[in-house]
Structure 1
Amino acid sequence: MSPRCRSYHSILEGGAGEELILAFPSIRPDLDHPTFGVGVNLVHEERIINLSSVSTGVLLHLNYPSPPPPHVDYIEHLVAPLGSVILLELYRVILSEEPFCPGGAGVIEVSDNYADMNGTWWFLCEDSVGETLAITSFLNTIHVRQRSEQFGVRLNGTIQVKKDTNYKLKLLRGSEESSVESCLPNPCKNGGKCVSSGSRQTCQCTSHFTGMFCALTLCELEPCLFGQCQLTATSYTCNCQAGYIGTTCDQKQRPCADNPCEGRGECVDKTDNTFLCRCHAWWEGHRCEHRMRHIPFKPLSERMLQEPFWLGLITVTVVLGIIGLVWCAKRHFPEKLEKLLAEEADRNRPIRKFNFISSQLASLQRRVVILLAFPIGGRQLNHLWLFF
């Protein structure tokens, strides 16, 4: 069961000698939840309601259960503990697109200064058949304003304080330079100081705290990309994972960066974040740290494939050979090709002529047969065949 709030009264002197009677907060005898209201005759006031020990409550209009007074501008600033949100449910109201209600009726204005970039406002008008409107604060505060014109406005609602599991993510959206809505009450946590500069109020944080309300530590900003963050008295340090360096562990360390071969060999970075030392002559070991006492004999054929000088010489020789072959082919190949084509043409020319004559003679032999008959020495020569 939520704790009851003790009633108390304060008598203040107002303008023109009128008396302002404020009873805040007050309790309805028939309810087990705190009731937030005030009994007044005329008021232009703003009050802060601290909900640190309240989980549920009832929000009612001024002078409840009497009718609400006209010409009143009263603001209730509800503040819950940081890490909580306020669920406000208002009954029998309708949304208005204008900051006033028709017929001279009062308007209920709900505002959340932390919602969106410049805050969010809802204007509500009393309606006998209206629906229930639920509004949840973005962070831990919300304002309820009862602004009466010729007629008062009835307010009937409930308040619930709920845990906000995403409040750190919301605070990360802002920065230490983000302004707070007010310095009263002081919203700055962990020894932070609220400072006003013109129309802006900001929190000046101490030690390793940061954020809009100084409610976050520097490690909660997760500055270490590849490491573990550790808080110090005034800041933080990053314990980097193997293979990473830098203030925020954002630089990948090259295994050869520290010269592990100590100048006695060539260091080669490997893909598994290790290194390989190719030692110079007279040195051996993982880091080329040992001087050779006995130089092992290697044949020239093996050294040619390992030592840079011989590898370079072989490469240059092969490249020059390829260039020479290409140059010779480009220079002599067209001449050789032209000569071969000419010789082939000379060999084929007589064969074509002989074949042509033979074909002509064969044609004449098949078609020409001449038969002649003439007397020779008184005798008749009956046939004469001529073949061509």
Structure 2
Amino acid sequence: MAFDPHREDYQRMGLRFARALDGESPAQAARSFAAFGRRFAQNRDGLPQTDEDRAFHLVAKATTLIDYELPFTDDEHAERLIAQGHAMLDEALKLDPQNPDALRMKMAAGIPNFEGYYDYLASEAEGVRERCERRRHKARSIPGEERSALAAQIALYPYLRWLASLASRAVVCGHNHDAISHARRALELDPTDQADARFTAYLAFAKLEDAAGLEALARTTGRTAVRGATPADAWLAITRCALAYKRLQLDEADHQLDLLAKAYPHAAVTLCAQRELPDGVFARLAVAPFSEDELILAVSEATVLLQEGRDARARGAFGSWVMGRMEPRMTPAERTALELARSQHPNGDRYGTPNA
């Protein structure tokens, strides 16, 4: 249920358009709103909007370039995409200088190390919360219960994304207790967990070898999160597998791999490849639940577990064990594709993913 910037842009503009129709009769308003989708797609600039709306639209467009196109382009075109994306973020900040998403995305590229970026996010979090709370309070005065509720929810989204980024960076920097605290704060504000903060918390609990904490959070979010608890998502299965492996409960670890293989297509080749992808800068990439892409994303984020105590092949003990268990499950076609990818990138892929 990760944030989709274009869906959010549509929701923002839809709310603005609906407010512009408040003086019309119900029949007239219904006819006007029926054409909103077409107008949004074909002539967005002609719709009622503020500088804040225009700024978020630029953030959404920059996200497409930086998060969804850049990781899969070649080096020849990468610099052009980066320049275009950052030009859009600069323009967004001219329109809305305090836009939290644009500020966070700009600083992600401007601070050269993980710890520095984490410190920036931590130092600015309270200011972002205050700005989002003011906007949420204002949104609650919008006429119409449903519109008011949606507007208030959207007003809080940038802070939820800030907390999710803070939690994710905390895990990378080894601040696992802090990561859990940031994720819990996001879950308190949004029990449905649109930010998928629980996934990051699962990784932090596994790093701390806190199985009880992991299961307690899984039970809670299983009742409240949009996706529920069944079947277990990739992050939960991988962290359970890692903890079982550390306890030498290999039957249980194997069981978790079985669950992954049943829930996700091409799980064997994904768990053998263990690709490490760049994190989404706007938010965790929005991919279909229980898709191959979701498992690829979860495995990438679980690098902190898979590569602990890296060996001569640049694999951690757990990562090597997972590969050994899943290699026999690959189909001949999957094996051929993986071998081809490794031959094309003998020292690892362009994101530093090591080969076995």
Q: TM-score, normalised by structure 1?
A: 0.22
Greater per-residue strand proportion: 1
Greater per-residue helix proportion: 2
Larger radius of gyration: 1
Q: TM-score, normalised by structure 2?
A: 0.23
